[in-house]
């Protein structure tokens, strides 16, 4: 039986306005550690791989589970835009959700606990503790109890400051403010669309970095939340991510990866680049920093290298593409922005590799499927797992 946990608000914030989306190929025992934080919320589990495999979900969670058969049944031919055998499948959860906010987390991510001082020893110790079901209280280095989901919600509910950098970081945080010289005309900030959390222990490194630094662990807890400035792209990781689905959901398409595709592990990156260009265009904010989660499993760097190798050289052309992407003033909705981007992908990236023509098509299919599920009010059939 697990003991001791982080601070759990008496009434969980956004309890009925937020879904937790988990892509998985494993049993979901990791939820035991998150139980005090996640139990009040509705989970959307996207089961990847063999749909005949049964995924065990711990008792007491309110969830719906979709496997590949469900995705094919609900989307029909449009299911072709949802990746198979890659964590990119998680974006189906964003589409099928009916809530205003989404938090997505990988199933090898845990509540961060303990003192950074012994992080090295701690890494093994924590895994041992997790294995025997003993969890320590989640605390930051100052000893303050932490709740990762609550931090994401605070990030999303407070404005962002993309137009002018505040050197004291998040000015809306308790105990901080705008510094001298910060224009008052900009102090209202803009609505926040994305909250990008980070990871202790196994960092989200690409395969080459993982190969040369197999034992490197992230032990640095930086107590800050930053707005990613307008005009600046960033590498969005899907491991510990929250966003306002009503504001930016249609842009959160985790691009075609995995089975049958020449690239993998760039799904979240693709979504992040498209999302940031659209947020900049629509005047929305993107934050990165707190909360941290404890990332416990390093995936195989050789397998990752095979998945990433095209992405590693394609991204040298993708980044200039997104940096110079301009959306017309007629692009007043996320869907219009996204369709406009898909046209530019076909026109400018199709010559790199035919994959980008396929991806441009999948971007359009994604928007069509999104609008079908979310505008017609079509009640999605309930798949496995207890009803809401």
Ligand X SMILES: O=c1ccn([C@@H]2O[C@H](COP(=O)(O)OP(=O)(O)O[C@H]3O[C@@H](CO)[C@H](O)[C@H]3O)[C@@H](O)[C@H]2O)c(=O)[nH]1
Q: Which residues bind ligand X (CB under 6 A)?
A: 23-26, 48, 85-87, 89, 106-108, 204, 237-239, 265, 267-268, 297, 299
> Cβ closer to ligand X: 265 or 281?
265
127 binds Mn ion (CB under 5 A): no
Residue of this chain nearest to ligand X (CB atom):
87
Q: Which residues of 198-214 are buried (b: 16+ CB within 10 A; e: fewer)?
A: bbbbbbbbbbeebeeee
62 binds Mn ion (CB under 5 A): no
In the complex, least distance from residue 140 CB atom to ligand X, rounded to whole angstroms = 22
In the complex, least distance from residue 189 CB atom to ligand X, rounded to whole angstroms = 28
Using the rule CB under 5 A, give the single segment among 31-39, 107-115, 280-288, 322-330 that binds Mn ion.
107-115
In the complex, least distance from residue 113 CB atom to Mn ion, rounded to whole angstroms = 18
> Cβ closer to ligand X: 82 or 278?
82
In the complex, least distance from residue 133 CB atom to ligand X, rounded to whole angstroms = 20
> Cβ closer to Mn ion: 40 or 203?
203
Using the rule CB under 5 A, give the single segment among 39-47, 101-109, 150-158, 322-330 that binds Mn ion.
101-109
> Cβ closer to ligand X: 24 or 160?
24
In the complex, least distance from residue 287 CB atom to ligand X, rounded to whole angstroms = 18
108 binds Mn ion (CB under 5 A): yes
> Cβ closer to ligand X: 45 or 284?
45
In the complex, least distance from residue 88 CB atom to Mn ion, rounded to whole angstroms = 14
| Interacting partner of 19 out of Mn ion, ligand X, none (Cβ under 5 to 8 A depending on kind) | none
| Interacting partner of 267 out of Mn ion, ligand X, none (Cβ under 5 to 8 A depending on kind) | ligand X
> Cβ closer to Mn ion: 26 or 348?
26
| Interacting partner of 238 out of ligand X, Mn ion, none (Cβ under 5 to 8 A depending on kind) | ligand X
> Cβ closer to Mn ion: 150 or 268?
268
Tokens representing 242 are 């929250």
Catalog residues that contact Mn ion under the rule CB under 5 A.
Answer: 106, 108
């Amino acid at each position: 039986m697990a003991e001791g946990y982080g601070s759990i608000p008496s009434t969980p914030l956004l309890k009925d306005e937020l879904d937790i989306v988990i892509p998985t190929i494993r049993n979901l025992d990791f939820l035991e550690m998150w139980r005090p934080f996640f139990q009040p919320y509705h989970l959307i589990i996207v089961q990847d791989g063999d749909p005949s495999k049964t995924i065990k979900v711990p008792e007491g969670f309110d969830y719906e589970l979709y496997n590949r058969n469900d995705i094919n049944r609900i989307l029909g031919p449009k299911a072709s835009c949802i990746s198979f055998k890659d964590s990119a499948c998680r974006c189906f959860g964003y589409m099928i959700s009916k809530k205003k906010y989404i938090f997505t987390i990988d199933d090898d991510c845990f509540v961060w606990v303990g003192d950074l001082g012994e992080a090295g020893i701690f890494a093994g110790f924590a895994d041992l503790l997790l294995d025997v079901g003993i969890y320590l209280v989640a605390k930051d280095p100052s000893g303050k109890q932490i709740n990762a989901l609550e931090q994401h919600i605070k990030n999303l509910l407070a404005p962002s400051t993309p137009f002018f950098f505040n050197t004291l970081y998040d000015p809306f945080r308790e105990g901080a403010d705008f510094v001298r010289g910060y224009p008052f005309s900009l102090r209202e900030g803009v609505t926040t669309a994305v909250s990008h959390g980070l990871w202790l222990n196994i960092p989200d490194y690409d395969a080459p970095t993982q190969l040369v630094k197999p034992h490197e662990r992230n032990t640095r807890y930086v107590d800050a939340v930053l707005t990613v400035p307008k005009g600046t792209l960033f590498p969005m990781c899907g491991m510990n991510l929250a966003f306002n689905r009503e504001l930016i959901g249609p842009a959160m398409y985790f691009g075609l990866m995995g089975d049958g595709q020449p690239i993998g592990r760039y799904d979240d990156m693709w979504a992040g680049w498209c999302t940031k260009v659209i947020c900049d265009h629509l005047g929305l904010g993107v934050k990165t920093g707190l909360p941290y989660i404890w990332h416990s499993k390093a995936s195989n760097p050789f397998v990752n290298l095979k998945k990433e190798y095209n992405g590693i050289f394609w991204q040298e052309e993708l980044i200039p593409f997104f940096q110079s992407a301009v959306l017309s003033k007629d692009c007043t909705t996320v869907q219009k922005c996204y369709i406009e981007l898909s046209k530019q992908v076909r026109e400018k990236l199709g010559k790199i590799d035919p994959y980008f023509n396929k991806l441009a098509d999948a971007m359009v299919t994604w928007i069509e499927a999104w609008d079908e599920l979310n505008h017609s009010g079509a009640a999605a059939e309930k798949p496995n797992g207890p009803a809401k």
